[in-house]
Structure 1
Amino acid sequence: MRLFEILLVLSCLALLVNLLFIKRSTKKIGLVLCIGSGLIFVVQLFVEGYRWQLLLVYIMTALLILIVLLRQSKMMVNLKIGKLLKYSLSSLIVILLVVSTSLSVYLPVFHLPKPDGTEKVGTQTFHFTDQNRDETLTEDQSDKRELMVQVWYPTENSNNNKSEALFPKDKEMFKKYIQTYSNSLNLPDFVFDYWKYSKTNSYENVEILPSTSPYPLVLLSHGMGTSRVLQASQAENLVSHGFIVVTIDHTYSTFATIFPDGRVTDYKTKSTTIEEREIVGNIWTKDVEFVINQIEKLNAGAIESQFKGKIDLNNIGVMGHSFGGATAFNTTYLDHRIKAGINMDGSLYGVENIGVIKKPFMFIRSGNFKDWLVDFKNDKNSDNEVYKQLSDELNIIKNVINQGGNAIYIEGTQHFNFTDLQFYSELIKLTGITGDINGKRGASIVNQYVLDFFNKQLKGAGGNLIQGPNDKYPEVKFIKPADL
């Protein structure tokens, strides 16, 4: 909970205690409490902002202020109520306060964790259209493939700009954005309204930090049905250590993608069968390749921007979560411009045509990988198409390790511990999509191993963590070829 939210709850309890245990004749105490509570109420609403989780606290505070003031007036001097009714009403008020406070605690106004590097983070968003590629995920045959791409980069933030909101600042765009989420989850729009208060650690459209050498580049793809918003803290952390990161919204495969003209696209992708996954995977792979083409234009000055000559195109990495992780593998394998890649808990697609990958690559799997592997080995249905797909994938992981790459799993994590969703609410754990590990701890471990890998492969430094087990991170287990 935020500071004035906590103070508001405490002031509400203080008003209740005043009514229950302090004599009417002690008017000064009641008056001071009413004034103090009223001021906290106003400051909370106008400084921190209203949110629905505190609605019961707002109502109880206003009601108790009114009762305390009336209690000291001549209007209520002779009014008496029985002890049973008095304490029953008080108990009900306490229960309502506990409910409202619990909603505020478990559906908090969250902010992204601070990056652990030394550099501040700037960000700028681009709208790119691939005129050479038709949009196949809509019925309009005239559609071309459009992408929203966010560039994250080191900055001095010399103008001392305030950090950016995580979600769109424009009220209408934000409304459309949360409507897309709420419709997908069959929830009322107001449930997500408080997201407007969440902050990143980035500054929009600030100048890039001057450097004697260009910055290595990492492209980052989200998982199927999420969006680049859920990978923001990973982008910020890499940038704080001297990388430029580009996050991509794979249009029509996100919960919501907002375009500059106010259009908001939602999820329209079919990816349930192996064939459908390969079709969509091909689209995402071409998305990444197209974005690299656009980054080359930015770096050459063909597209006007502040990034001319600032990006090291000889040191390009790619990473992703889930389907984005599979795309990271695919693009690393296919695109000669990509030097190294990371797959965060993503099942591969198109594996039957994959040979031995000769580039540095790392697989990071969730904590259930070991149990999954045991179940897979015990599966007798070896003629099944899915079984063959998974068997081919394990052979690919084995080849990566044999070629000097890495494969690890992190105990206590589940699939969405590789996203920022774990910061949204502790209640997420109840769904099972995040693991028992503390969210910030899990995110920090992932960030450290991602950073160590890209430091070694794109900067020629570091690489200590990916050499083997480390006492600082006992949750991390290295996968050996013999395990597969």
Structure 2
Amino acid sequence: MRLFEILLVLSCFALLVDLLFIKRSAKKTGVVLCIGSGVIFVVQLLVEGYRWQLLLVYIMTALFILIVLFRHSKKMVNLKIGKLLKYSLSSLIVILLVVSTSLSVYLPVFDLPKLDGPEKVGTQTFHFTDQNRDEVLTEDQSDKRELMAQVWYPTENRNNNKRETLFPNDKEMFKKYIQSFSASLKLPDFVLDYWKYNRTNSYENVEILPSTSPYPLVLLSHGMGTSRVLHASQAENLASHGFIVVTIDHTYSTFATLFPDGRVTDYKKNTTTLDDRTKTGNIWTKDVEFVIDQIEKLNSGAIESQFKGKIDLNNIGVMGHSFGGATAFNATYLDHRIKAGVNMDGSLYEVENRDVINKPFMFIRSGNFKDWLANFDNDRNSDDEVTKSLSDELHIMKNVINQGGSMIYIEGTQHFNFTDLQFYSELIKLTGITGDINGKRGSSIVNQYVLDFFNKQLKGTGGNLIQGPNEMYPEVKFIDPEDL
């Protein structure tokens, strides 16, 4: 909970205590409590903003202020009620306040984890249209493939701009964005309204930090049906360590993609079969290749921007989560411009002719990988299509390790611990899509290993963490190729 939210809850309980246990003659105490609570109430609404989780606290605080003031008024009739009724009502009120407070704690307004790199981070969003590629996920044959890409980069933030909110500041755009998310989750719009307060560590449209040498580039792809929004902390962390990072929204494969003209596209299911996965994967791979084309234009000045000459196109990495992780592998294999890649818990959708990859690559898997591998050994000799594809995937992983790549899994994590979803609510753990590990701890571990990998492969520094077990991170286990 935020500071004034905590103070508001405490003042509400203080007012209740005054009503229950303080004598009417203690007028000064009651008046001071009412004034203090009123000030906190107003400041919380004006500074931090209203959110529905605290509705009962708002109502009770206002009601208690009025009752306490009237109670100490000379005109107030001395009403007497039985102890049973008095304490029954008090108990009910306490329960309602606890429920409201708990909702605020478990559905929190949050800031992304603080950066551990030396640089501040700027961000700028671009709208790209591939005029050479038809949009095959819509019915309009004239549609071209459109993408939203967000660039994260080191900055000085000379003008001391305020940190950006995670979601759009514009009220209408935020409303459209949330409506799409809410519809996907089958929730009323107001339930997610408080997301407008969530903050990043980044500053929008500020100048890039001057450097004597260009910055290495990393492209980041989200998972199927999620969004680039869920990877903001990973992008920020890399940027704070001297990388330029580009997060991509793969249109029609997100919960919501918001375009500058106010259009919002939602998720279209298109990965039912292995063939569907491959077709969609090819679209995503081309998205990555196209965005690299556009980054080259930004760097050359063909597209006017502040990034001219600032990007090291000889050192490009790609990473992704889930389906985006599989895309990172596919793009690394196919695109000669990509030097190294990271797959975060993504099952490959293209395993044909991918046996030998002569580039550095790292697979990071969730905590249940070892158990999954043991269970899969029982079915390894099956002839069905899915089992064969998984067997080929394990063979690829083995080759990656044997050629100097890395493969680890992180105990205590589940699939969505590789996204920012773990910061949205502790209740998400109950669904099983995130593991028992503390969200910030899990995020930090992933960030440290990804950073160490790209430092080594794109900057020629570091590389200590990916060499083997480290006592600072006992949750991280390295896979032996013989286990595959």
Q: TM-score range by the shorter chain?
A: over 0.9
* Alpha-carbon separation, structure 1, partners of 2:292 and 2:380: 43
In 1: Cα distance, 2:470 partner to 2:380 partner:
36
| AA at the equivalent of 2:366 | S
* Corresponding position of 2:71: 71
Q: Does 1:465 align with 2:437?
A: no
Contact 1:366–1:415 under 8 Å retained in 2? yes
The CA distance in 1 between the partners of 2:78 and 2:156, in whole Å, is 66
> In the alignment, what sits opposite 1:202?
202
* Counterpart amino acid of residue 200 in structure 1: T
Aligned-partner Cα distance in 2 for 1:400–1:454? 16
Cα separation, 2, equivalents of 1:232 and 1:244:
13
Please give the alpha-carbon distance, in whole angstroms, between the structure 2 residues aligned to 1:182 and 1:250: 19
Amino acid at match of 1:263: R
The code of the aligned residue for 1:386 comes to V
Tell me if 1:369 matches 2:365.
Answer: no
Correspondence list, 1:3-14, <5 A: 3-14=3-14
Q: Which residue of 2 aligns with 1:25?
A: 25
Q: Secondary structure at the match of 2:349?
A: coil
Match of residue 480 from structure 1 = 480
Determine the C-alpha separation between the residues in 2 that align with 1:238 and 1:185. Answer: 30
Contact 1:177 1:258 in 2 (8 A): yes
Instruction: Please tell me whether residue 344 in structure 1 is matched to residue 332 in structure 2.
Output: no
What is the letter of the counterpart of residue 14 of structure 1? Answer: A
Which residue is 1:50 aligned to?
A: 50
Shift of the alpha carbon at 1:70? 1.3
SS at match of 2:470: coil
RMSD between aligned alpha carbons?
Answer: 0.8
Alignment check: 8 A CA contact 1:111 1:199 kept: yes
CA distance in 2: counterparts of 1:352 and 1:45, whole angstroms: 58
Once the two structures are TM-superposed, the CA of residue 269 in structure 1 deviates from its matched residue by 3.3
User: 1:184 & 1:257 partners in 2: Cα distance?
Assistant: 13
The answer for the alignment partner of 2:185 in structure 1 is 185
In structure 1, how many angstroms separate the alpha carbons of the residues matched to 2:55 and 2:4? 14
1:100-159 deviation digits (Å, cap 9, x = unpaired): 000000000011001100000000000000000000000010000000000000000000
Q: Secondary structure at the match of 2:352?
A: helix
Instruction: Please give the per-residue CA displacement for 1:267-301, whole angstroms capped at 9, x wherever unaligned.
Output: 01310210000000000000000000000000000
Q: Say how many residue pairs are matched.
A: 484
Which blocks of at least 5 consecutive residues in structure 2 are unaligned? none
User: 2:250 matched to which residue of 1?
Assistant: 250
| Worse-matched range after superposition: 178-187 or 295-304 | 178-187
**Distance in 2 separating the partners of 1:316 and 1:196:** 33
TM-score, scaled to structure 2: 0.99
Q: Tell me if the contact between 1:137 and 1:269 (Cα under 8 Å) persists in the aligned partners.
A: no
Q: Which amino acid aligns with 2:3?
A: L
Mapping for residues 318-333 of structure 1, pairs under 5 Å: 318-333=318-333
Shift of 1:75: 3.8
8 A contact 1:129–1:144 mirrored in 2: yes
Kindly provide the CA deviation profile for residues 353-381 of structure 1, in whole angstroms up to 9, marking residues without a partner as x.
21300000000000000000001001266
| Aligned equivalents of 1:145, 1:428: Cα separation in 2 | 34
Amino acid at match of 1:310: K
Larger mean CA deviation between 257-266 and 81-90 belongs to 81-90
Deviation per CA, 1:400-449, whole angstroms, max 9, x where unpaired? 00110000000000000000000011001000000000000000000000
State whether residues 219 and 245 of structure 2, in contact with CA within 8 Å, keep that contact through their aligned partners in structure 1: yes
Structure 1 segment 404-419 matched on structure 2, within 5 A: 404-419=404-419
**AA aligned opposite 1:187:** L
Letter in 2 for 1:417: N
Residue 129 of structure 2 corresponds to residue 129 of structure 1: yes
Q: Return the TM-score normalized by structure 1.
A: 0.99
Name the counterpart of 1:105. Answer: 105
Pairing of 1:292-307 with structure 2 (within 5 A): 292-307=292-307
Could you list the per-position Cα deviations for residues 366-400 of structure 1 after superposition, in whole angstroms to 9, with x for gaps in the alignment? 00000000010012661111000000000000000
- Conserved 8 A contact 2:124-2:151: yes
Q: What letter is aligned with 1:115?
A: L
C-alpha offsets along residues 332-364 of structure 1, whole Å, 9 cap, x if unaligned? Answer: 000000000000000001202213000000000
1:249-288 pair list within 5 angstroms: 249-288=249-288
1:417-428, aligned counterparts within 5 Å? 417-428=417-428
Of 373-382 and 21-30, the range deviating more from structure 2 = 373-382
Distance 1:129 1:214 in 2: 26
User: Aligned partners of 2:293 and 2:78: how far apart in 1?
Assistant: 81
Amino acid at match of 1:82: G
Deviation at 1:79, TM superposition (A): 1.5
Identity of aligned residues (%): 87
Q: Distance in 2 between matches of 1:141 and 1:167?
A: 31
| 1:295-346 deviations in Å (ceiling 9; x for gaps) | 0000000000000000000000000000000000000000000000000000
Secondary structure of the residue that 2:377 maps to in structure 1? helix
Q: Which amino acid aligns with 2:136?
A: T
Aligned partner letter, 2:354: I
Deviating more after overlay: 80-89 vs 117-126: 80-89
What amino acid is the match of 2:109? Answer: V
